[in-house]
C-alpha cells in the first residue's frame, strides 16, 4: 500500500489519476498513523514552501514524513515535496525537513529567463532504478520558481538545464525526490512512477 | 534542453467540441474527452479547454469533462471560459485541471488574479487576453472582452504587465485579427508582449500551417503556441507539426 501525503498543498487529483491508471494500491491521507503503516510514501505538493512547512508542522505530517524516511521504506517527493525534503528553501527563508543535504534557491530573473520554469525540459539521469526504461534526454514537465541544489554530487540522480544546471531528481538511500511532475509528464512520467511502484 | 510547447485548444460547448471562425459560426468537431486522448497520444504538450457554454446551469457538464480528461491524460491542461469567482477556480482545479484562465472576468475584476494566485499559486492562474490592432492605443493594441465582442478602454501591453504584477503565471494572447484566418500568428503583438513580461507567453490565433509556428517561436518570441483548426480538421497532426519544428531546429518534445 502506498500512502500519498495530503497536506493541502495543491491538488492531488493528477497523482491520484496516474496511480489509478497504473493499477497501484494507494490511499490519500492526512493522518500520520495511517501513512506510517504504508509500505511506500508519495509526498507531492504544489505551492509555497513556508505555508506548506507550517501545515506539516502543525498537523504532525512533517514528523511522519521524517519518520517514514528514517524507517528505510521508499519515499518519493514530487515538486514542492521534493524541495521540502532538503535542508532549507530561500522561499521566505524556510527551514525544511533536512532529510537530504542541500538547499533550494530561486531562479534569478536576471538571467533573462522566464520564471517560473514552466514547461517541458530534458533531463540527464544516472540510470538508477527510478529511471529504468527512461531514455537519456527524455522530456519531463516542470513548474517551479525555485530549484534544488543538492549538496553532495552523490545525491544527484538527474540534472536539468535552465539558465544553470540544477538537480532534477535526487536520491539518498530509500529517499527519492523529483522536481518535475511525473504524473504530468506523459509516458516517460508514467514509466518513472511505475518504476517506483515495482522496483522499490 | 528547454522546449517550446504545442498547446491544442478545444472549445467546448455543452460538453461537445466546436470550432468557430472569428468567434462566430461554431461547428461541432467531436467529443472533448476522446479528442483530448487523441491529442495526448499524438504528442501534444498541453491542452486548453474553453467552455463556451452560454448558461450557468450547464457549467456542471464542463466539470464532468475536466474530471474525465484528468483521469485519462497525463499532460497539463487548463480550463477557461466563464470563470469569474474563486469557487469557479476551485471547482475546476479540484476536478483535475492544472491551471485556469481568466479573461473577461479579470478585466472587470482584476483582483480575481490576485486572489486566485494567493490561494492556488501563480502557476495555476493564466490570463487569457483577446486583443486587436488599434492605432489609437499606446501599444497599438486594444483589449476586448466577451469573446471579442466588446472593446475596452484598456491597452493590451499595459494589461499584460498589470496581470503579471497581480500574480498571473502565464498569458495566453489571442489576436482577434488573426483568429481563425489561418494566415499566421500576429507576430508583432506576440513579440511585444512576450518580451515585456517575465512570465511565459502562449501565442494564439491564426495558425494554419506548421511554418506559422516556426515564425511565432523564432520571430514572435513565444514560449508556446496554441493550435486548433490545424489539427481539428485533420489537415495536420501534432506529430507532423513537431517534425517540422524539429527540422527547423526548434527544441520540442519529440
Q: Which pLDDT belongs to residue B21?
A: 55
Residue A45 is predicted with a pLDDT of: 85
Asked if A166 and A159 touch (Cβ cutoff 8 Å), the reply is yes
Choose among A59, A1, A71: nearest CA to A32. A59
pLDDT tens-digit readout, A125-170: 999 999 999 999 999 999 999 999 999 999 999 999 999 999 999 9
Helix segments in chain A, DSSP class H: 13-21, 32-36, 49-59, 61-71, 80-84, 186-199
**How many contacts, defined by CB atoms under 8 Å, are there between A and B?**
90
Which residues in chain A touch residue B246, judged by CB atoms under 8 angstroms apart? Answer: none
Residue A82 reports pLDDT greater than 90: yes
Convert the pLDDT of each residue in A171-198 to its tens digit: 999 999 999 999 999 999 999 999 999 9
CB contact under 8 A, A118 and B200: yes
- When divided into structural domains, chain B yields a total of 1
The widest CA-to-CA distance across chain A, in whole angstroms, is: 47
Mean pLDDT of chain A: 95
Residue B115 CA to residue B86 CA, distance in Å, equals 7
pLDDT score, position A149 = 97
Residue A144 has φ and ψ, to the nearest 5°, of -165, 150
* Gap between the Cα atoms of B111 and A121, Å rounded: 32
**Higher-pLDDT residue of B64, B28:** B64
Alpha carbon B57 to chain centroid distance? 24
Within 10 angstroms of residue A199's Cβ, the number of other Cβ atoms is: 11
Cell 461547428, located at residue: B27
- Model pLDDT, residue B25: 62
How far does the CA of residue B71 sit from the closest CA of chain A (Å)?
A: 5
H or E segment at B234?
Answer: none
Are A86 and A98 within 8 A, CB to CB? yes
The residue from B11, B91, B179, B215 that is catalytic is B11
Flag whether B53 is in a domain.
yes
Residue B71 placed within a domain: yes
Between A47 and A26, where is the model more confident? A26
- Of the listed ranges A44-53, A75-84, B75-84, the one predicted with least confidence: A44-53
Verify whether residue B130 is a known catalytic residue. yes
Please give the mean pLDDT across all residues of chain B: 93
Q: Residue B218: is its pLDDT beyond 90? A: yes
Residue B38 structural domain: 5-247
Give the angle A37-A187-A72 at the CA atoms, nearest 5°: 25
pLDDT in tens, B8-23: 999 998 888 887 655 5
- Pick from A99-108, B26-35, B59-68 the range whose average pLDDT is largest: A99-108
Residue B187 maps to a domain: yes
Cell of residue B195, nine digits: 518580451
Distance CA A6, CA A30 (A): 5
Q: Could you give phi then psi for residue B17, rounded to 5 degrees? A: -80, 140
Interface test with B, best of A8, A13, A165 (most B CBs within 10 A): A13
Q: Which of B45, B88, B91, B130 is catalytic?
A: B130
Query: Which residues, 6+ apart, have CB-to-CB distance to A60 below 8 Å?
Result: A32
Contact (CB<8Å) A184/B198:
no
Residues whose CB is less than 8 angstroms from the CB of residue B202 and which lie 6 or more positions away in sequence, other chains included = B5, B7, B126, B170, B171, B172, B173, B222, B223, B224, B225, B226
Q: Provide, rounded to the nearest whole percent, the portion of chain A with pLDDT above 90.
A: 88
What's the CA dihedral at B126, B63, A51, A190 to 10 degrees?
-90
| CB-CB contact of B160 with B171 (8 Å) | yes
CA A7 – CA B172 distance, rounded (Å): 31
- Average pLDDT value for residue range B11-39: 81
B32 pLDDT more than 70: yes
- Asked if the C-beta of B141 comes within 8 angstroms of chain A's C-beta atoms, the answer is no
Instruction: Please report the pLDDT score of residue B17 as a whole number.
Output: 87
**Other CB atoms closer than 10 Å to residue A31's CB: what's the count?**
16
Task: Check whether B253 has a pLDDT greater than 60.
Answer: yes
We report the CATH number of the domain holding residue B19 as 3.20.20.70
Q: Is residue B253 part of a domain?
A: no
Instruction: Say yes or no: domain A2-199 is CATH 3.40.50.1860.
Output: no
In a domain, B229, yes or no: yes
- Alpha-carbon gap, residue B98 to B125, rounded angstroms: 9
Amino acid at each position: 500500500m502506498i500512502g500519498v501525503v495530503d497536506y493541502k498543498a495543491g491538488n492531488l487529483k493528477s497523482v491520484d489519476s496516474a496511480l489509478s491508471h497504473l493499477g497501484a494500491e494507494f490511499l490519500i491521507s492526512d493522518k500520520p498513523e495511517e501513512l506510517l503503516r504504508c509500505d511506500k510514501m508519495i509526498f507531492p505538493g504544489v505551492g509555497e514552501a513556508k505555508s506548506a512547512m507550517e501545515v506539516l508542522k502543525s498537523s504532525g505530517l512533517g514528523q511522519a514524513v521524517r519518520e517514514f524516511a528514517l524507517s528505510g521504506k521508499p519515499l518519493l517527493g514530487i515538486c514542492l515535496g521534493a524541495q521540502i525534503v532538503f535542508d532549507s528553501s530561500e522561499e521566505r527563508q524556510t527551514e525544511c525537513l533536512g532529510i537530504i543535504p542541500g538547499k533550494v534557491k530561486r531562479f534569478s530573473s536576471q538571467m533573462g529567463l522566464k520564471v517560473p520554469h514552466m514547461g517541458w525540459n530534458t533531463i540527464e539521469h544516472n540510470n538508477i532504478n527510478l529511471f529504468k526504461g527512461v531514455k537519456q534526454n527524455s522530456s519531463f514537465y516542470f513548474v517551479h520558481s525555485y530549484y534544488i541544489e543538492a549538496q553532495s554530487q552523490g545525491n544527484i540522480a538527474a540534472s536539468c538545464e535552465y539558465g544553470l544546471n540544477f538537480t532534477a531528481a535526487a536520491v539518498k538511500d530509500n529517499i527519492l525526490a523529483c522536481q518535475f511532475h511525473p504524473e504530468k509528464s506523459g509516458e516517460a512520467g508514467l514509466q518513472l512512477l511505475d518504476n517506483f511502484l515495482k522496483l522499490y | 534542453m528547454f522546449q517550446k510547447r504545442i498547446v491544442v485548444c478545444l472549445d467546448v460547448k455543452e460538453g461537445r467540441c466546436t470550432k468557430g471562425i472569428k468567434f462566430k459560426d461554431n461547428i461541432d468537431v467531436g467529443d472533448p474527452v476522446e479528442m483530448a486522448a487523441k491529442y495526448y497520444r499524438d504528442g501534444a504538450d498541453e491542452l486548453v479547454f474553453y467552455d463556451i457554454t452560454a448558461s450557468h446551469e450547464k457549467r456542471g457538464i464542463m466539470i464532468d469533462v475536466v474530471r474525465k480528461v484528468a483521469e485519462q491524460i497525463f499532460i497539463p491542461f487548463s480550463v477557461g471560459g466563464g470563470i469569474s469567482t474563486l469557487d469557479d477556480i476551485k471547482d475546476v482545479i479540484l476536478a483535475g485541471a492544472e491551471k485556469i484562465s481568466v479573461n473577461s472576468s479579470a478585466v472587470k475584476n482584476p483582483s480575481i488574479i490576485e486572489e486566485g494566485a494567493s490561494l492556488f499559486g501563480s502557476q495555476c492562474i493564466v490570463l487569457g487576453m483577446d486583443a486587436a490592432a488599434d492605432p489609437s492605443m499606446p501599444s497599438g493594441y486594444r483589449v476586448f472582452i466577451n469573446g471579442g465582442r466588446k472593446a475596452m478602454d484598456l491597452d493590451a501591453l499595459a494589461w499584460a504587465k498589470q496581470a503579471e504584477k497581480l500574480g498571473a503565471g502565464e498569458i495566453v494572447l489571442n489576436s482577434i485579427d488573426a483568429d481563425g484566418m489561418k494566415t499566421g500568428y500576429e507576430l508583432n503583438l506576440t513579440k511585444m508582449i512576450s518580451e515585456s513580461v517575465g512570465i511565459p507567453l502562449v501565442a494564439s490565433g491564426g495558425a494554419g500551417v506548421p511554418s506559422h509556428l516556426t515564425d511565432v517561436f523564432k520571430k514572435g518570441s513565444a514560449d508556446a503556441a496554441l493550435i486548433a483548426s490545424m489539427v481539428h480538421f485533420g489537415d495536420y497532426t501534432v506529430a507532423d507539426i513537431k517534425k517540422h519544428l524539429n527540422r527547423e531546429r526548434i527544441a520540442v518534445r519529440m
